[in-house]
A and B are shown apart, each in its own frame.
Chain A
Amino acid sequence: MNASALVIGLVALPFAAAIVVALLGAARAGLVRWVSLGAALGGLALAAVVTLQFTAIRGAQPPQKEAAATFAPELVPGADPKAPARTTWNIIEFGNRGAIQFYLGIDGMNIWLIVLTALLMVSAVLVSWNAIQERVNEYYAWLLALGAALSGVFLAFDIILFYVFFELTLVPLFFLIGIWGGPERRHAARKFFIFTFAGSVITLLGLLALVVVCHQKSPDRTLTFSIPELVRQVNHHLLLSAGADRAFWDATQFWVFFALFTGFAVKVPLFPVHTWLPLAHVEAPTAGSVLLAGVLLKLGSYGFLRLVLPLTPDACITYGVDVVGTLAVIGILYGALCALAQDDVKKLVAYSSISHLGFCMLGMFALNAPGLTGSLLQMINHGLSTGALFLIVGMLYERYHTRHMTDYGGIGAKLRILTLCMVVTCLSSAGLPGLNGFVGEALVLFGAFLKRPELAFIASAGILLGAWYLLSMLRQMFFGTLQEPAHEGHEVRDLDAREVCALAPLLVLFVILGVYPKPVIDTARPDLEIVAKILRNRPGMTGAPTVAQQGE
C-alpha cells in the first residue's frame, strides 16, 4: 500500500468513525465508546507509521540545505510523479491556470503536531468514558470530527483547504462546549465561536489578497493556492522587487500581515484578545479542554509559523518583533499573574496556557533558529503538559464536583497516584530540566535574548511565576491536612486503570522529550531552517549573526 494513503487516513479515519458513531444511536453507549477508542487508537497507530515512514525518507535523503527555498512536504497523496512534493488532486479548477487542490503532506513542522493530536485524542476518549452519560453517540461523533479537522489543518498545504479545516474545528467544539459543558455553556460556546470566527474571517481576506496579488504579478497569470508555491513566488518577488514595486510589496505585506495576525492572534491567544479562552475552558467538558488547550491553540501559533513568517517576512521583521514580541511578553507575565490569583483550578490552568503560549510566540518572533526551534518544542510541550493538567483536573472534578481550590486540602494523603501524576505534570509545566518543558523554554529565551535582550530579561520572570502558581496550587489542594470537598456517600478512589492509561503516555513523553528531544529537533530542523533562511535573507534583519550564517 502506498504510504501516502496513510496520510489521508489521518483525516479520513476519525471522520468515518464519527459518522459510524453518530449512526450507532445513543442507546448503544458501550459500543459507541469502544468504537471511538478503536478509532483513536487506530489514528495513533497511523500517526506512528507515518512518523516512521517520514523519518525513514528524511533519513535516506536529507533535504538539500541550499536548494530548499520553500516547504517540500513528503508523503503527498496523489503526488505528481515528476515533483513528489506537489499533488495532482484538484478540487476546483480555474481553467488551466490553477486549482484549489486536495493537497496534504508531512514535513518536520507538522509531523509532531499530528502525533500530538492523535495521542491526545486517545486520552480525550478515555477521560470521557464515565463523565459523559447523555447523548453519548453525538458526543463522540463531535469529538472524533474535531480530531479529524485538527489533523486536517496541520496536514493541509493548500491555502483554501487549510482555511476550511481551520474553520471546521470550530463547529465540533461549539457543540461540545454548548451541549456537554458547565452551567454557562451557552454563553461560553457563543463567545468562543464568534470571537474566533470574527478573527479568522479577516485572516481569509488576507489569504485571498495574497493569492490575488501573486496571480497578478506572475508573468503567465497562473493562479496558485499551494502554500509552498506561494511562499516561493512571494520570496522570489521580494528578492527582485525594487522602486515602486518595492513599495507595493511593503504595503501588501503590511496589510496581509495584519489580516493574518488578527485571526491567528485570537487563536493563540495573545494578550489582549485572550478572554474567550478561560471562559471556554471552564465551561468545556474535560476532553474539550484537553483538545482545546493541547491542540486547538496550536492552530494559531502553527498559522504564524507556516504562513505568516514565510509569506510576510519583511512585515514580521519590521512590525512583528515589536508588536508580537511585546504582546507575548505581556501575555507571559499577565497570564501568570492572573493564574496566581485564581481560585478556580481550571481557570488557573487556562491562564497558564496564555503564559506558556506567550513563550511560544516570543520564541517564534525572535526569528532565529533557537527561537523557532524552541517555539515549536513549546507547542508540543504545552500540548502535553497542559493536556495532562486538564486531564487530572477533570478526574478530580469527576470525583468531587468542585473546581474551587479552597474546597480541597491534603488530597495527596488520599489519592496518591493522582497526586504523583499532578506533581510530575506541574513540574513539567514549570519547566523543570529533565522534563519536557525546559528545553523549549530555554531555547525560546536564548533566541529572544539574541534578538531583544530586554524582552528576554522581562520574560524570564515567567520562570519564577510559573513555579509560583503551580506550587501554590499543589500546596493548597494536595498537601497539608486532609480536607475533602463534600461528596455524596460514594467512596472516592484513586485513579483506575483507564485513567492511568489516559495519563501515563503523556508522563512518559515528559521524560523522553526532556532527556532526549533530539529526534524532534532533528526532524524539524531542515524545515525550520527554510523559514529561518527566508528571514535571514531579508535586508531588515538585524541582530547578532549566528554561527550557521557565518559559515555560509
Chain B
Amino acid sequence: MFDVCSYLWLIPALPLLGCIATAALGPRWLRGQSHWPCILGAVGACVLSVLTLIAVPQGAVNADGAPVPYLCSYYEWFRAGDVDVSFALRADGLTAVMLVTVTFIGSLIVIYSVGYMHGDPGYPRYFAVVSLFLFSMTGLVLANNFIVLYAFWEGVGLCSYLLIGYWFSRPSAAAAARKAFLVTRLGDIGLFLGILVLWTETNSLDFDVVLGQAHTLSAEILTIACLLLFAGAVGKSAQFPLHVWLPDAMEGPSPVSALIHAATMVTAGVYLVARCMPLFGQAPDAQLVVAVIGGFTALLAALIALTQTDLKRVLAYSTISQLGYMFLALGSGVEHHRLAALAATAAIFHLVTHAFFKALLFLGAGSVMHAMGDVIDMRRFGGLRKLLPVTHWTFLCGAAALAGFPVIFSGFWSKDEILAVTWEASRGGPHAVIYFVLLVTALGTAGLTAFYTFRAYFMTFWGEQRLPEEAGHHPHDAAPVMGVPLMILAAGAVLAGIVLGPTGLFGGFLEHYWSRSELPTRLQAAEAGGHALNVPLMLISAAVALGGIGLAYVLYVRTPALVGTAARMLGGLYGWSRNKFYLDELFEALFVRPFAGLARLCKTLDQYLVDGLVDLIGQVPAFVGYVMRPFQNGLVQFYALLMALGVAGFLLATMLR
C-alpha cells in the first residue's frame, strides 16, 4: 500500500479544494451544480479515511506490542523561542475511527443537501461552507499538536457560525449564530489556557510528548489543566452550563443541524477528552467533575426535551443529553488504566452510533420540514406515516436506536457500555457513591430518552393526518437524492451497534491504542479478565427503554387526553421544563447583562472621567495664565513696587539666615 503520510494530508485538503472551487466557480458558473466540488471532496476524503482505517492496524508496533501512530509533519507554522508549532498530522485508531465517521456521514449529508437545498439563492455559499467544515473537522481529528487542534477547533466554530447564520436576513438566525460563536468561545478561553499550562509544564505542544509526561506533573497542575481543557469541551459539546447555544443553532438548515450540531462538530469535545485520556485518567478530581457535568447535563436536557414542541429542538436537547452520556463515560475512567481505556472506548463507541442515528433523525426531521413547507412545530401536523413512508420508516429506525430499543438497535449497545463503565467506577474508589448516583441517574435518563423520542415520533407520524397550510396541496416524500442517504443511515443506525459492539470489533480495535504504556501509570494495574457483557444491567436498561416507549404510546396514541392531566399533575415541573429551566434567562442575567453594563460603565467613565482628567490637565496653562494676568496690568509703578518688594524680601531672607 501507499505510505500513509503521502495521502493523509489529502483528507483535509480535498474538502478544502472543494471549498475553494465552489467559492470561486459557484456563483458565476456552477450555480445549481455547485454541489459537485463539495461531493467529490467529501467522498474522496471518505475513501482515504477508510484506507487510513485499514492501514492503521498494520502499522509498526513498539516494544510493548502497542501500535505506533503514524506521525506526519508537513511544514513549520510558526516558531519563536520554544513555542514550536508544526503543521503535523497523526493517524491512529482514535483518529481513524473519527475520520471515517465524519467523512462517511458528511458525504451522505452533502448528497442529501443537494435535494434539500435545491433552489436556495445561497446554494454555492452553502456547499462552500460545508466543504470548509469538513476540512476543519478532519483537520481537528488529525491534528498532532494542541495548537493545530485549537486552530481547527476554532475553524469548525466558524463554519458553525456561518451555517447557523446561513439565512442571515432572519434576525433569529443572526442572533443564534452570534450566540453559538460567543458561548463556545467562552469555553475556548479555557482550552487555550489549558494548553498554556501544559506547555509551561512540559515545554511541548505535541500530543505524544505532553501526554507522555503526564505522570511527571503534580496532581494540582494536572487537575487544573484537565479542568481548563474540559471547559473547552463543555463549550463545544454543549454541556451544562454552556449548552444554551445548541438549541438555538437549529436556525440553520436541517442538514447542517444533522452534520454539525448532532453528528460531528459537537462531538469534538468528547474527542478532545478522549485524546487527552492519559491526562484525565490521572486526575480523579477532574474526572469526577467530567462525570458529574456529563450525568447532570444528560438528565437536565432529557427533562427539557420532554415538553418541547419543536421537533428539531427535541432532537437538539437529546443531542445535549447524549453528549452528556459520553462525558459520563469518559469521567468514569478512574481507578485503573483498564477502566480508563474502557471508558474512552465506550464514549467513542456511543459517539459513532449516535452520529448515525442522530444524523438520521435530523435528516428525517428535515424531510418532514421539507414536506410541511418549513413548519417544524409538532402541534401543527400529525399522522404523517402514510404520507411520508420513507421518512417514517427511517425515522423510526433512528428513534428506536436513540431510545435504546433492546437487542437490535445500535443505541442499546453503546449506551449499555457507558452504563457498564459507570457501574465499574461505582464499585470502588473514594467517589464510588457519587458514581453510583450517576449510574442511577443515567438509567433514569434512559427512560426519559425513550419517552421523549417516541413522544416526538408518535406526535409526528401517528394520530389523524393533519397538515399545515404552508405544506400546499401535495406534500411529497423525500426524493431519492434525500431518501437514499436516509436509508443508508438507517441501516447504520440499526446494525452498527450489534455488529461492532458485542462482537468486540470496535472495542478490540480501540482499546489496543488506549492500553499503550503511557496510559495512566499512577493508576492501579489492570485487573485480570476481559470486558464481559453486564447482563443484569442490560436487562434493566432494556426494561427502562421499553417502559419509556410504552408510556409514550399510552399518552400520545392510545389516550391523548391523559397528556393534559399528566401536565397538570406535574404542574411546576412541567412549566420549568417548557421554559428550559430558565437557563437562557439565567445566563443572560448572570453573564450577558453584567458585561453589557460594565461596558456601558467603561464607555461613560472614558468619556467623562478619563478624558475629563486629560482635559483638566489641558486647562492648567490657561488657568496659570488667568491667575497671572492681573500682575501684567501695564502700570510701570506697579512693576516698580513689586520689584522693590521683591528685593526687600530677598535682602531680609539673606540677613535673617
Contact = CB atoms under 8 A, between A and B. Distances in A.
Interface string B593-617: 0011011101100100011011000
Contact of B174 (A456, A463, A475, A544): A475
Contact of B178 (A427, A447, A475, A521): A475
B80 A525 contact: yes
A518 B189 contact: no
Contact of B80 (A472, A480, A521): A521
A337 B598 CA distance: 7
A475 B175 contact: yes
Contacts of B595: 337, 340, 468
B447 to A, nearest CB: 38
Interface string B138-176: 000000000100111011001001000100111101110
A194 B600 CA distance: 28
Interface stretch (A20-28, A33-41, A366-374): A366-374
Nearest to A368: B81
B189 A370 contact: no
Nearest to B604: A341
Contacts of A471: 161, 178, 181-182
Contact of B78 (A272, A338, A434, A439): A439
Interface residues of A, number: 66
Contacts of B171: 479-481
Given A413-B169, A475-B175, A447 B81 contact: yes
Nearest to B147: A442
A546 interface: yes
Given A369-B80, A449-B196, A410 B169 contact: yes
Nearest to B602: A337
Contacts of B79: 518, 521
Contacts of B169: 410, 412-413, 479-482
B610 A275 contact: yes
Contacts of B154: 432-434, 438
A546 B185 contact: no
27 contacts: A272-B613, A275-B610, A275-B611, A337-B595, A338-B606, A410-B169, A432-B154, A432-B155, A433-B151, A433-B154, A439-B78, A446-B81, A446-B196, A447-B80, A449-B196, A453-B196, A456-B193, A464-B188, A467-B181, A480-B168, A481-B171, A516-B77, A517-B77, A518-B78, A525-B80, A532-B81, A547-B81
A433 B155 contact: yes
Contacts of B82: 369-370, 546-548
Interface string B223-254: 00000000000000000000000000000000
A460 B158 contact: no
Contacts of B81: 368-370, 373, 446-447, 532, 546-548
A191 B161 CA distance: 41
Contacts of A257: none
B83 interface: yes
Contacts of A433: 150-152, 154-155
Interface of A: prevailing SS: helix
B200 interface: yes
Interface size class of B (residues with CB under 8 A): 35 or more
Given A341-B600, A467-B185, A480-B171, A472 B178 contact: yes
Interface in A355-384: 368-370, 372-374
Contacts of A447: 80-81
A457 interface: yes
B182 A468 contact: yes
Given A275-B614, A341-B596, 16 more contacts: A272-B613, A274-B610, A337-B603, A338-B603, A438-B154, A443-B83, A463-B189, A467-B182, A475-B175, A478-B168, A516-B75, A517-B78, A518-B76, A518-B79, A525-B80, A547-B203
B240 to A, nearest CB: 19
A456 B196 contact: yes
B602 A334 contact: yes
B618 interface: yes
Contacts of A370: 80-83
A464 B186 contact: yes
A505 to B, nearest CB: 18
A49 interface: no
Contacts of A374: 80
Interface of A: 191, 194-195, 272-276, 278, 334, 337-338, 340-342, 368-370, 372-374, 410, 412-413, 427, 432-434, 438-439, 442-443, 445-447, 449-450, 453, 456-457, 460-461, 463-464, 467-468, 471-472, 474-475, 478-482, 515-518, 521, 525, 532, 544, 546-548
Contacts of A334: 602, 606
Q: Which one of A461, A479, A480 has the highest number of Cβ atoms from chain B below 10 Å of its Cβ? A: A479
B610 A412 contact: no
Nearest to B168: A479
A338 B80 contact: no
B581 interface: no
Given A338-B602, A479-B174, A521-B78, A463 B185 contact: yes
Interface of B: 75-83, 147, 150-152, 154-155, 158, 161, 165, 168-171, 173-175, 177-178, 181-182, 185-186, 188-189, 192-193, 196, 199-200, 203, 595-596, 598-600, 602-603, 606, 610-611, 613-614, 618
B598 to A, nearest CB: 6
A209 B144 CA distance: 53
A467 B192 CA distance: 15
A429 to B, nearest CB: 14
A453 B105 CA distance: 42
Contacts of A438: 151, 154
A475 B161 CA distance: 12
Given A368-B81, A369-B81, A480-B171, A340 B196 contact: no
B616 to A, nearest CB: 12
Contacts of B78: 439, 443, 517-518, 521
Nearest to A449: B196
A483 B378 CA distance: 33
A361 B602 CA distance: 21
Contacts of B618: 191, 194
Nearest to A547: B82
Contacts of A432: 154-155, 158
Contacts of B77: 439, 515-518
A306 B369 CA distance: 63
Given A445-B192, A546-B81, A464 B602 contact: no
Contacts of B75: 516
Contacts of A191: 618
A464 B189 contact: yes
Nearest to B162: A423
A369 B78 CA distance: 12
A475 B168 CA distance: 9
Contacts of A449: 196, 199-200
Contacts of A340: 595-596, 599
A446 B199 contact: yes
Contact of A273 (B161, B170, B614): B614
A468 to B, nearest CB: 6
Contact of A275 (B80, B150, B177, B606): B606
Contact of A457 (B80, B150, B186, B193): B193
Nearest to B613: A272
A321 to B, nearest CB: 16
Q: Which one of A446, A447, A460 has the highest number of Cβ atoms from chain B below 10 Å of its Cβ? A: A446
A472 B592 CA distance: 12
A460 B181 contact: no
A507 to B, nearest CB: 13
A360 to B, nearest CB: 15
Contacts of B151: 433-434, 438
B15 to A, nearest CB: 14
A427 B158 contact: yes
A10 to B, nearest CB: 27
Contacts of B175: 475
A445 B188 CA distance: 14
B182 A460 contact: no
Nearest to A545: B82
